Amino acid sequence: MTTFVLIPGMCHGGWCFRELCEDLRHHGHRAVALTLTGLAERAHLLDGGVNLDTHIRDVAGVLEAEDVRDAVLVGHSYGGMVITGVADRLPGRMAGLVYLDAVVPGDGDSCWSLVSDRERQWYADVVETGYATRPLPFFDPRATPHPIASLLQPLRLTGDPARIARRVYVYAARWQGESPFTATYERLREDPAWTTYALDGGHNLMRDAPEDLLKILTGARW
């Protein structure tokens, strides 16, 4: 049995992994989908102090409180920032990292610095308080504003990310328009330290390519 801890991307909550979690449990694994502070059912906690460190602490706190070990962290999109930070702080609890069409930051990177100008224009469309980026119009109705400080804050790493030996990147090959993750995928597929996949789906791979994604997660030797 593998314990998968799934972290959503911008504006989404743990609800976006519901079907994937059900499928993972059906295959005998433990699956925990988390909602980050300030989003979805935790939207009432949104204020100007919610940043990337807050989200890293969200996940690290669950791993420690539940004494989760040999975890596979799965981060979608912005979630790549979070899982990288958690793995840096708690490397002894990690069995692997899975980046689902996600940013893969190094020390000093922010989500803002890693995406294209198109995404930055979206990020800058904030709600009246100035605390959060609005969901895009075509998002699921359950989407909520995303704390903008978490997109601007640089990630600080204290160790070598390569100490997590099992790292997987799953690229969405069917974006509408140019994907901000193409350069990341092309770089990582040439790196023998990474296992990479390209799936025939849009950015929301949990919805567009659920069977292929499930095979990747359950077929790996964690």
Residue type, 213: L
Helices 52-65 and 79-89: crossing angle in degrees, nearest 10, is: 50
The one catalytic residue among 77, 113, 116, 150: 77
Distance, in Å, from the CA atom of 61 to the CA atom of 132, rounded to the nearest integer, reads 23
Q: What is the CA radius of gyration of the chain?
A: 16
Both tokens assigned to 56: 């890293």
- Residue 107 burial by Cβ neighbours in a 10 Å radius (0-12, 13-18, 19+): middle
Q: Is 113 part of the annotated catalytic residue set?
A: no
CB atoms within 10 A of CB 86: 27
Q: Residue holding tokens 């609005």?
A: 134
Both tokens assigned to 191: 């790196």
Distance, in Å, from the CA atom of 129 to the CA atom of 151, rounded to the nearest integer, reads 16
Query: Residue 71: enclosing H or E segment and its boundaries?
Result: strand 71-76
| DSSP class of 94 | E
The residues that are catalytic are 77
